[in-house]
Structure 1
Amino acid sequence: MADIIPIVMPKWGLEMSEGTVQDWLVREGERIEVGQALVDVDTDKISNAVEASDPGLLRRIVAQSGETLPVKALLGVLAETDVSDAEIEAYIAAFEVPAIDSEDEKAGPTFDYANVDGIRVRYARRGPDEGRPVLFIHGFGGDLNNWLFNLDAVAEQHPVIALDLPAHGQSQPKLPGTSIAALADFVLKFLDAVGESGPVHLVGHSMGGAIALQMAFDAPARVASLALVSPAGFDVAINTGYTDGFVKAQSRRDLKPVLEQLFADPGLVSRHMIDDMLKFKRMDGVEPLLAELGAALFKDGKQSAVLVGDLRTFGKPTVVFWGKDDRVIPADQAANAPPGAQVVLFDATGHMAMLEKAGEVNAALQRHLSAG
């Protein structure tokens, strides 16, 4: 029988178990190309489009708008015209949703915890056991799920580690200090705690980018390369309307316009994302710590740590990603990248290029990591 290719609900990130189908962006009978956006899906983290991983003719749309389906559920079917309608119907009727991670029984627990200077830190490992690790460091108010479109893609070739910084995500609401230097020192100690004493590739976003810069300056032997997404630490300008607004927001109505500043397309901010962030902010002790951290890092409406000049002698592969429509840290700061750094600017992209342009970022990351 000729090939029938399923389109299935993707697994975006470490915690996704289901998604809600929104609008189909293509029609039955349309020829599909690899990478083409097929259908919008809403998850408990973000709304995004499912992209085609195979080319072909879209013969059947199975999942309808409004349906909430588990990861790997059948969304649609690609098949050429030599496949009969009866064969397609039989395929759909016989399709069974496989168990998540059934193909990788050795994957182990999704998350682990480490104790670093008396602070309990959540982290995740993915990918092969061998090779130089890639450490992902999120930004202010974020968590390791900010990398939900990137971790598994990079883990296809490299060991990956992602952590929740102190007072973020599901790490303990306690700070090792309120400076970038204190946070960088903490992350270095975290690497020691999880058995990574050798050099690692660093991927940092926003505040996490500044932490990566500081680590490269303080401990260059521990850093194999840098990949920075809209990093802090390149200049003083920052939109403290976002950082202050995030700390102060107490309701969906308050938080929604704040989170929309992160994206070029505000439609990416789902109700689930808003609820998830409110739940995090309402954890005991979190909000005053975020306020304390924000006041120290963004004092008088400016970034307190400008670090990029210290990298002029770093001499290792560095790539900088920036969305041209970034409303949190201006994209023109990319001009301050150190000599020899690769700078990648994205049109129609805001502060979250790793989510908004995940495919391009992942491809560029793989090329960057292979050079490091």
Structure 2
Amino acid sequence: MPDDRILTVTMPKWGLSMKTGKIVDWFVSEGDTIAKGDDIVDIETDKIAGTLESPVEGPVRRIIAEPGSDLPVGAVLAVVAPAEVPDAEIDAVVEEAKAAVESGALEGEDEPEPQLVDVGGRTISYVSLGPDDAGVPVVLVHGYGGDKNSWLFVQQPLAEEGHRAIALDLPGHGASGKDVGDGSLRTLTDTVTGFLDARGIERAHLVGHSLGGAVVAAVAKAEPGKVASLTLIAPAGFTPDADAEYLRGFASASSRRELKPLVGRLFSDESLVTRQLVDDLLRYKRLDGVDKALTAVLGTLLGEGDRQAIDTRALLEGVDVPVTIVWGTSDRILPVPDGVELTRVAAGHMPQMEAPGEVLAAVKARL
């Protein structure tokens, strides 16, 4: 039997579309001792680059994956074990790991398919990960122009820790139907509430980003009994200010040249934006009905003088559920508000992508 003191770090699965990851740079070396949660390696996916936090602790005995190598999800990247474990046993684990990659045994594993549900005559696409009987689920709601893939660094880890994590596409976004009606906050709120009812979810921990933050706050205002907690990530509606040029530009952009610099504004580190991420957004924007949908929702976000039209602080007044607010210190889309208790993280407008470990910690603290 293999020594149970030998632990491995494997290629994570960040998002449903991820098949492989490219090793960019290691932050640790063989002989270093790592702790759970330490940043250990940068990995580039087809969507975005991310930093893998160690799931294990102990001395790094072998680093298998060299920078520049593309490896499938599940491939062993490093081996961790106490010094007293013989080198021969470590070498055996390394050889087995390399053989698994070379044989192709790690490729083509089954992955959950997005599901569809009718909510008030609108088709809503969602993905549910984790056990159905895991208790109160976590429901993740993206921002303007985003989709359920916005949670690629959050949803899978929650599921792996035994939580039921559900990411949905709002109307007009992702793979959901493109009918947004009047595009109002009420319409989006009713959709999320209707989604919970359609899936038989009596209570949920709601996590919302940007526009999604305002939406889940409105759900808690309208149906507090359905909400176990709120985690709001750079939520819309906390200040009058917003990067209206970004919002209007995103709604109207029709080419890579127009879209790429706008997407870069979402991140503190613009190098995280991959060509594939921009191509996917451009492909979405060219779908029938998307322009009309984004324009309608834009009218909900922006009011006179290009100021924010939503007042999320007012929505939260009288809401008696635990609320956590997370904000990137380098947010260029929605400025960090004053006079609000919040968790600041080193990120731009997409903390769930740039600082997923801290976002995960904030969500799990409410579970």
Q: Residues of 1 paired with 2:138 and 2:6: CA distance?
A: 36
Q: 2:353 corresponds to which letter in structure 1?
A: L
Could you tell me which of 170, 176, 182 is aligned with 2:181? Answer: 176
Any idea what the Cα deviations from partners look like across 1:298-340, whole Å, max 9, x if unmatched? Answer: 134111121322322112211111112111111125x2x4xxx
Q: Equivalent residue of 1:226, what SS?
A: strand
1:357 alignment counterpart: 355
1:78 alignment counterpart: 80
TM-score (norm 2): 0.89
Q: Residues of 2 paired with 1:251 and 1:21: CA distance?
A: 30
Q: Equivalent residue of 1:368, what SS?
A: coil
Q: Residues of 1 paired with 2:235 and 2:247: CA distance?
A: 14
1:252 maps onto 2:256 in alignment: yes
**Structure 2 gaps, min length 5:** none
Q: Equivalent residue of 1:290, what SS?
A: helix
Could you tell me which of 107, 117, 121 is aligned with 1:118? Answer: 121
Contact 2:141 2:167 in 1 (8 A): yes
2:39 alignment counterpart: 37
1:322 alignment counterpart: 327
TM-score (norm 1): 0.88
Shift in Å, 1:148? 1.3
Could you tell me which of 256, 261, 281 is aligned with 2:265? Answer: 261
1:332 alignment counterpart: 337
- Between Structure 1 and Structure 2, how many residues are aligned? 357
Contact 2:300 2:310 in 1 (8 A): no
1:149 alignment counterpart: 153
Q: Residues of 2 paired with 1:296 and 1:362: CA distance?
A: 29
Identity of counterpart residues, as a percentage?
41
Q: 1:254 corresponds to which letter in structure 2?
A: E
Q: Residues of 2 paired with 1:8 and 1:189: CA distance?
A: 38
Q: 1:368 corresponds to which letter in structure 2?
A: R
2:198 alignment counterpart: 193
Contact 1:213 1:233 in 2 (8 A): no
Q: 1:332 corresponds to which letter in structure 2?
A: P
2:292 alignment counterpart: 288
Q: 2:348 corresponds to which letter in structure 1?
A: G
Shift in Å, 1:253? 3.2
1:162 alignment counterpart: 167
Could you tell me which of 12, 15, 18 is aligned with 2:14? Answer: 12
Could you tell me which of 297, 302, 318 is aligned with 1:298? Answer: 302
Contact 1:43 1:272 in 2 (8 A): no
Q: 1:201 corresponds to which letter in structure 2?
A: H
Contact 2:329 2:347 in 1 (8 A): yes
**Structure 1 gaps, min length 5:** none
Any idea what the Cα deviations from partners look like across 1:268-312, whole Å, max 9, x if unmatched? Answer: 212222222122112222133213321342134111121322322
Q: Equivalent residue of 1:275, what SS?
A: helix
Q: Residues of 1 paired with 2:156 and 2:107: CA distance?
A: 14
Q: Residues of 2 paired with 1:154 and 1:60: CA distance?
A: 28
1:242 maps onto 2:246 in alignment: yes
Contact 1:178 1:297 in 2 (8 A): no
Q: 2:148 corresponds to which letter in structure 1?
A: L
Contact 1:240 1:301 in 2 (8 A): yes
Q: 2:123 corresponds to which letter in structure 1?
A: R
Q: Residues of 2 paired with 1:268 and 1:181: CA distance?
A: 34
2:343 alignment counterpart: 344
Contact 1:210 1:231 in 2 (8 A): yes
Contact 1:139 1:208 in 2 (8 A): yes
Contact 1:176 1:183 in 2 (8 A): no
Q: 1:328 corresponds to which letter in structure 2?
A: I
CA RMSD of aligned residues (A): 2.4
